[in-house]
Amino acid sequence: MPSIVLSLSCPDRPGIVHSVTGLLVDHGGNITESQQYGDPDTGRFFLRIEADIPGSIDELRVPVDELAATLEGTIDLTESGRPIKTIIMASTTSHCLTDLLYLQRMGRLAIDVTRVVSNHDTLRPIAEFYGVPYTHIPFSKDRRDEAEAELLQIVEETGAELIVLARYMQVLSPELCERMAGSIINIHHSFLPSFKGARPYQQAHDRGVKIIGATAHYVTQDLDEGQIIEQDVERVTHGHTAADLQAIGEDVERRVLARAVQWHAEGRVLRNGERTVVLP
């Protein structure tokens, strides 16, 4: 029996869960997992349901769209476990890219990496080892528009549903950020909002913090201000140099990013204004 994931975001009001579960019951569905959250601050309601259904997912699409309209919200409906088409972008640092490709190969992430894009050619062998096409798009002030156009073309060609910035050190254009809002995930190598901007490990070292961290967030036009999806931390001491913090931090970065990508791919992350709702 196929299994579906339904993710809903709408204004809160009585009866939502009953309506959604009613629709599923009418189609013979059996709910296997369900989480919800009503935000008293924003007045919005969020729901994720995983269910087994007897027929095809397509039979649900029209009634689900009608329900979304009635609830004045949005509902994403997809097959459970369907790998989403993903572009990974990286510059020269390999730990996040290596880990995502490894986890994809092991079946640990519900993503289908259709392309690795980089402004350098350094990481090509890693992509090749994992059998993923690699596109080098040189980036410089002169050819900014050209580079963006190449990237957009790859997005089109591959039908990318998600872009993961796995330590990609260039800023994406406002157009792309807007167009794929909520579908671009970045890993920031600090425990945001601490140490925004450049060289966060050096900043952390200079401030003498006892714990460092990393943050995966959606990319918005405001740098380092996008909605936080996941964070994690590791203890450090006075004895660690900025280079040590970087080495320790890389391990935090890769697991934070992997978790964020996984939860996003499973439809567990819903945007709620400046924040996210993560339904575990």
Residue ranges that bind its own copies, judged by CB under 8 A: 13-18, 21-22, 24-25, 28-40, 94-95, 98, 102, 106, 108, 125, 129, 191-195, 206-211, 213, 227-233, 237-239, 241, 247, 251, 255, 272, 274-278, 280
Measured CA distances, 167 to 63, 237, 239 (Å) = 41, 25, 26
- Using the minimum distance from each CB to its own copies, give the nearer residue, 34 or 173: 34
- Using the minimum distance from each CB to its own copies, give the nearer residue, 130 or 152: 130
| Catalytic residue (one of 39, 52, 224, 232) | 224
53 φ/ψ sector (left φ>0, alpha ψ -120 to 50, else beta):
beta
Q: Which two tokens mark 219?
A: 């990319």
Least gap, CB of 227 to its own copies (angstroms)? 6
E-strand ranges in 68-210 read 74-79, 84-90, 111-118, 134-136, 162-165, 184-188
First to last CA, the chain: 23
Catalytic residue check, 224: yes
Least gap, CB of 272 to its own copies (angstroms)? 7
Least gap, CB of 55 to its own copies (angstroms)? 14
Cα separation of 75 and 68, whole Å?
6
**With b meaning 16 or more CB within 10 Å and e meaning fewer, what string describes 244-254?**
ebbebbbebbb
- Using the minimum distance from each CB to its own copies, give the nearer residue, 4 or 137: 4
- Using the minimum distance from each CB to its own copies, give the nearer residue, 131 or 145: 131
Least gap, CB of 2 to its own copies (angstroms)? 15
Q: Which residues are marked as active site?
A: 224
